[in-house]
Structure 1
Amino acid sequence: MARGVEIAYYEFVYDGHPAEVLKGLQELKSKKHLMDVTLVAEGKEIPCHRAVLSSCSGYFRDMFCNELEETKKDKIEIMGITSEALQLLVDFAYSSKVTITTINAQPLFEAANLLQILPVRDACARFLADHLTPSNCLGVWVLSHTLACEELANRSRAFSLRHFPMICQHDEEFVQLPGDLLKMYISDDYLNAQEEEQVFEMVMKWVKHDLRQRKKFLKEVVEDIRFPHMDQIYLMRSVEADEVVMKVPGIRDVLHEARMYHISRGEVSSPRTRPRLAYGLHEAMVVLGGTRVVNGEYNNDVYCFVPAYSQWSKLTSLPKDLKNTVEYAATTLNNDIVITGGYWSPTAAWLYSTQFNTWNKLPPLSVGRFRHKMATLDGRVYVLGGKNPRGSLQVLPSLDSVEIYDPPSNTWKPSVPLLKGVRACAIATCEGKMYVIGGKDTDQTATDAVQSYDPVQKRWSFRTPMPMAESCFSATSVNALIYAVGGRFQAIQCYDPNTDRWQELAQSLAPWDYCSVTTCDNKLYVTGGRVEDKVKKGKDTVQCYDPANDLIELVHPMPVKLFAHCAVTILKRRR
């Protein structure tokens, strides 16, 4: 060819080639030409071409291209799938088409996943997600969870949670759930069970469907039933009357927790006490009073924070007698809020009704006090410690006196005094006992003492002291552990009453001297605190600590900067 002559070219693409190749392969298959392997499922034989199978299936590509034992066989048995599903997938390999129906979708999905024919697997997943019903959703969830198809598993699980009332009417799949998935299912806050009694009855159906094999799972499953939200009569007549349930190790402690929750919600906190969203209730944190600047601005408003919404709102204002006062104490009683004392109103006692949004005056305290603490135990309110504001602040001794408010009689009664008088201490109830931690004693010095009160024996006792002496801090309990925060502690201090030991956990993210803490949704919410500078201003920070993973994070700040305030938790109806 002469130099300099331009070479002409034309690239021809025949658009019909893929279709004609498939058509040719189908013809070879129908006439059984060049067949080199036979697949077998449930006894049915399906002749095929290795090359065709390998071109669209990762399973067969690995089998035939890696010199496995099957490469030498003329017949290969495929276990774990139906013959119908295998036939449909072989036909797809030769035609690029498959018909998915409500009857074959699940076995076809399972077979396509095994043989790694991804287009069919994904098409089946979409089809199943679009055709979920109360009678098939649990089966789809189990299958997709087993096959690690995350998107379908999430959609089918969400559907099954939402349609729990209908599933109770179609319980064929429910009683077939594996134990681990049953536990996951009933522990979910989003389970649409408007009555916890229904959850209990479905769990017992599951157990009794195969009692011999399943009773060993009962303890683990029962722990996720929210007995505190059941009717008390139902607990007595149906739960406590069930011989199978009452043989479960630890069930009496679980039912005792439920009874205590009915007596006083504020003193019990565990995953079982958290309301399901279907109840129409949320746990909400309430912040009351406090100071914005030392010797200055006081907060006379009450604010509410619902973690589910991450939003603050004003709940109410303090009653007239408590406005512009400081260093009172607060606790909850049957979802209402009780406030006592304070420097300017040392004997005052008020109850805020969360149902009616009203303040009601209670009988005055027998002993006026401020910088004291309150807790609710066995349905009665305890007020203890603090100072009586008579005389010079510098010489006032710390009180050791304890008073109890009895709701039925609407009276305050004296109780067993503390072993050591304290003020500015921390307090928490846990497992039916009350713990008074640290504070300042009568010598104006901080103490590391831990005083425990047993209401059955009506006796105080000392427990293992804190790692360091401290005052002006707060404590709360969750899941049978007590957590102390604030003061000079750089990290959360955790006390286990069962082992009588302390340990140090997550570091604080913001100053928390004079902070307050409460438990909400099984997490600790540490609010406010004071910065030790010339002005000594309050902080608006909210630090959320999750005991499940030992992580602390800053969440939505308070609407005002506060310290020396109170924080409690109530149940609030969803908007």
Structure 2
Amino acid sequence: MDRPAVKIFHYKDKEQSSNLLLQLNGLRQENILTDVSLCSGNTEIPCHRNVLVSSSPYFRAMFCNNFIETHQTKIDLQGITSAILSSVIDYVYTGLVSISMDTVLPLMQAASMLQFGRLFEACSSFLQEQLSPDNCLSMIRLSEILNCNSLRDKAKEMAMKSFSDVSASEDLCELSLPELMGYLEDDGLYAEEEQVFETLVAWIHHDPLSRRGAISDLFKKVRLRHIHPTYLFQFIANDPLIQSSTLCAELIESVRRLMFSVNTKCVGDTAVDFKPLWVAPRRYSSHDMLVVVGGRKNSEQTSREALVFDERSETWQQLAKLPIRLYKASYVALHSVLYVIGGLTTNTKTCQVSTTVYTLSLKTNQWRTAESMLTPRFAHQSVSYLHFIFVLGGLGPDRRLTDSAERYNSMFNQWEAMAPMPEAVLHPAVAASNQRIYVFGGEDAMQNPVRIIQVYHIARNMWSRMENRTVKNVSAPAAIVDDKIYIIGGYTRRVIAYDTKANRFIKCANLKERRMHHSATVLNNKVYVTGGRHISGNDVIEDSDNFDCYDPKTDTWTSKGPLPYKLFDHGSLTLTYVSNHGQNHG
């Protein structure tokens, strides 16, 4: 007969370990079986060697390695006060300790010396909770003295993310040159370049005699490409510190030449190796956001709404409304500012063709007026390139199609006339690339499609034109990814990419339906297409709330869900938003 299988019961007494500590602590307090006293000043605390050895590598080494202390009954612990020693011993026997701002540093030093790792980290956690922009630089110093990586990492993260507050603190001016350089060259700094410049100037002015010589090394850390030209050429270039340095003056001159000649070939002509400085990326603090503005909403009147798409949460948020209703204005982004240019005013008694320019930055979320255009126009096209905005064609005050063009120079805050277009067209697709502006197709005054590409050479202020049978787009936007200009729809489902280098067209995946009066922009190397009107299966024109994304790498379209409302003839732009950590742009 088989014997029944022997059952084994694994019992774990959950109270045994904590109960044991309690009993040991009771024995210590009654001085029973204690075999060593830890001394600080006049205070002696009786303990059990085996408890100390079990709790810390420091005591294990002391009592188990034939050192002199092995045979001593009293151990004097230098550099630890009696109150702190008492707290540490209580912690060893109970696992409990009270940490305050008064005790945290001596406690941390004792924990470090006696090798109580978890107590050391508990003190670090306490200090991390006290972190603020005002004290994080001091905490970094402290963390280095204490050799505490967890505190240093957390304090450094705060210094990077709250740099605008930190840069105003007294501690910043106490940084050494290598420390300041470390911050300013970091891609992870949450700061705008203007602020980076102001910070280094304040640091030098704190001790001008010994620090003036550092100006050129520090100035190289400012990413000049991402500074608004007006600020760079009017404010920074005239700063006495900058003018006192040949190298700084050369750097500014390199930027000036680069922008004026509109030709990147001159980057190498300077004595300074300017290329790495020019291509330094925007810092981590900024991210690109998609903004939709104006247009005709829900088939009704022109819209004053502006919306921003939050890619992370895939939600739309409202921005401040346009000050006025505008019919067929043009929309463009430059230096992270949204420009709404011209248009027909519809909420006045008489419809006026406008020269007004409205601007909005995500940072302030307020509309302002900028310098007005030279010529009133609506149904025109705008495109930005380097520090210019180019405005092309459209309808003038007489409602007639015009070939006139003008450009806004943000460096001097002024508009200037350009050579007129070879052929006046309405609703072409426009894109700027490689020192040129490309104007594809559109229609003439009789609403016939125009099968040409018009090319404006920016540096020479000259136009050329090319006949091309492939071009037949009307009311289609263009978008650029990797030197290719994508023309999306335009009374057709067709999407084509123009390779500017090879001067040829490539066919891309079609849209789902024939689409026009929509808008497109590029975000993270993908093309986002918003709204417009489409022609349904019954040849009926309907307004659209579609929001679609095209990925050039895979040549595929995906839907991003609907817009908050149906919209056409609007602007769709990508704006760079520099966030102050923890603040919303809304």
Common fold by TM > 0.5:
yes
Q: Give, as a single letter, the amino acid of the residue that structure 2 aligns with 1:241.
A: Q
Task: After superposition, give the CA deviation of every residue in 1:265-316 in whole Å (9 maximum; x if it has no partner).
Answer: xxxxx97699999xxxx99945223475xxxx45422211245782256434
Alpha-carbon offset, residue 401 of structure 1: 3.2
- Which residue number in structure 1 is paired with residue 235 of structure 2? 234
Distance between the aligned counterparts of 1:490 and 1:314, measured in 2? 34
Q: Is the 8 A contact 1:491 1:507 kept in 2?
A: yes
Distance between the aligned counterparts of 2:317 and 2:475, measured in 1? 28
Alpha-carbon offset, residue 155 of structure 1: 7.3
- Which residue number in structure 2 is paired with residue 78 of structure 1? none
Q: Give, as a single letter, the amino acid of the residue that structure 2 aligns with 1:426.
A: A
Alpha-carbon offset, residue 561 of structure 1: 0.6
Task: After superposition, give the CA deviation of every residue in 1:233-267 in whole Å (9 maximum; x if it has no partner).
Answer: 3222127525276278798338977999xxxxxxx
- Which residue number in structure 2 is paired with residue 415 of structure 1? 419
- Which residue number in structure 2 is paired with residue 396 of structure 1? none
Structure 1: stretches of 5+ with no match in the other structure: 1-10, 36-46, 65-69, 76-82, 261-269, 392-398
- Which residue number in structure 2 is paired with residue 337 of structure 1? 340
Q: Check 1:504–1:202 CA distance in 2 against 1; reply closer, same or farther (3 A cut).
A: farther
Matched position secondary structure for 1:305: strand
Q: Check 1:175–1:301 CA distance in 2 against 1; reply closer, same or farther (3 A cut).
A: same
Distance between the aligned counterparts of 1:113 and 1:469, measured in 2? 79
Instruction: Compute the TM-score of the two structures, normalised by the length of structure 2.
Output: 0.56
Distance between the aligned counterparts of 2:213 and 2:103, measured in 1? 33
Task: After superposition, give the CA deviation of every residue in 1:93-121 in whole Å (9 maximum; x if it has no partner).
Answer: 46644756568649939976996823540
Alpha-carbon offset, residue 201 of structure 1: 2.0
- Which residue number in structure 2 is paired with residue 201 of structure 1? 201
Q: Give, as a single letter, the amino acid of the residue that structure 2 aligns with 1:300.
A: T
Q: Does 1:383 align with 2:392?
A: yes
Alpha-carbon offset, residue 167 of structure 1: 1.8
Q: Is the 8 A contact 2:534 2:542 kept in 1?
A: yes
- Which residue number in structure 1 is paired with residue 190 of structure 2? 188
Q: Give, as a single letter, the amino acid of the residue that structure 2 aligns with 1:230.
A: Y
- Which residue number in structure 2 is paired with residue 288 of structure 1? 294
Alpha-carbon offset, residue 457 of structure 1: 1.9
Alpha-carbon offset, residue 18 of structure 1: 0.9
Distance between the aligned counterparts of 2:527 and 2:353, measured in 1? 29
Q: Check 1:29–1:117 CA distance in 2 against 1; reply closer, same or farther (3 A cut).
A: farther
- Which residue number in structure 1 is paired with residue 427 of structure 2? 424
- Which residue number in structure 2 is paired with residue 318 of structure 1? 325
Q: Check 1:375–1:221 CA distance in 2 against 1; reply closer, same or farther (3 A cut).
A: closer
Q: Is the 8 A contact 2:332 2:573 kept in 1?
A: yes
Distance between the aligned counterparts of 2:66 and 2:227, measured in 1? 58
Q: Check 1:73–1:142 CA distance in 2 against 1; reply closer, same or farther (3 A cut).
A: same
Q: Is the 8 A contact 2:200 2:218 kept in 1?
A: no
Distance between the aligned counterparts of 1:171 and 1:133, measured in 2? 14
- Which residue number in structure 1 is paired with residue 462 of structure 2? 459
Q: Give, as a single letter, the amino acid of the residue that structure 1 aligns with 2:518.
A: C
More divergent stretch after superposition (354-363 vs 121-130): 354-363
Matched position secondary structure for 1:315: coil
Task: After superposition, give the CA deviation of every residue in 1:425-456 in whole Å (9 maximum; x if it has no partner).
Answer: 3324468x4522533477966869573421x3
Distance between the aligned counterparts of 1:99 and 1:500, measured in 2? 71
Q: Is the 8 A contact 1:483 1:493 kept in 2?
A: yes
Distance between the aligned counterparts of 1:206 and 1:490, measured in 2? 62
Q: Is the 8 A contact 1:429 1:476 kept in 2?
A: no
- Which residue number in structure 2 is paired with residue 156 of structure 1? 158
Identical-pair percentage: 14
- Which residue number in structure 2 is paired with residue 125 of structure 1? 125
Q: Check 1:165–1:489 CA distance in 2 against 1; reply closer, same or farther (3 A cut).
A: farther
Matched position secondary structure for 1:302: coil
Q: Is the 8 A contact 1:290 1:564 kept in 2?
A: yes
Matched position secondary structure for 1:540: coil
Q: Is the 8 A contact 1:53 1:93 kept in 2?
A: no
Alpha-carbon offset, residue 422 of structure 1: 5.5
Q: Give, as a single letter, the amino acid of the residue that structure 2 aligns with 1:233.
A: Q
| Pairing 1:11-410 to 2, within 5 Å after superposition | 17-22=20-25, 32=36, 52=52, 55=55, 93=92, 96=95, 97=97, 101=101, 105=105, 108=108, 117-130=117-130, 132=132, 134-137=134-137, 139-140=139-140, 147=149, 152-153=154-155, 156-157=158-159, 160-161=162-163, 163-168=165-170, 170-173=172-175, 175=177, 177=179, 179=181, 181-184=183-186, 187-189=189-191, 197-201=197-201, 219=220, 222=223, 226=227, 228=229, 230=231, 233-238=234-239, 240-241=242-243, 243=245, 246=248, 252-253=254-255, 285=291, 287-290=293-296, 297=299, 299-306=301-308, 310-311=317-318, 314-318=321-325, 322=327, 329-331=330-332, 337-340=340-343, 348-353=353-358, 372-375=380-383, 381-384=390-393, 401-404=403-406
- Which residue number in structure 2 is paired with residue 79 of structure 1? none
Q: Check 1:168–1:72 CA distance in 2 against 1; reply closer, same or farther (3 A cut).
A: same
Distance between the aligned counterparts of 1:206 and 1:545, measured in 2? 52
Q: Give, as a single letter, the amino acid of the residue that structure 1 aligns with 2:318.
A: Q
- Which residue number in structure 2 is paired with residue 473 of structure 1? 476
Q: Give, as a single letter, the amino acid of the residue that structure 2 aligns with 1:235.
A: I
Matched position secondary structure for 1:127: helix
Matched position secondary structure for 2:304: strand
Distance between the aligned counterparts of 2:22 and 2:200, measured in 1? 58
Q: Check 1:72–1:224 CA distance in 2 against 1; reply closer, same or farther (3 A cut).
A: farther
Number of corresponding residues: 494
Q: Considering only aligned residues, what root-mean-square deviation do their CA atoms show, in Å?
A: 7.1
Alpha-carbon offset, residue 134 of structure 1: 1.9
Q: Check 1:562–1:99 CA distance in 2 against 1; reply closer, same or farther (3 A cut).
A: closer
Instruction: Compute the TM-score of the two structures, normalised by the length of structure 1.
Output: 0.57
Q: Give, as a single letter, the amino acid of the residue that structure 2 aligns with 1:199.
A: T
Q: Give, as a single letter, the amino acid of the residue that structure 1 aligns with 2:325.
A: L
Distance between the aligned counterparts of 2:545 and 2:522, measured in 1? 18
Alpha-carbon offset, residue 383 of structure 1: 1.6
Matched position secondary structure for 1:301: coil
Q: Give, as a single letter, the amino acid of the residue that structure 1 aligns with 2:571.
A: C
Distance between the aligned counterparts of 1:106 and 1:491, measured in 2? 70
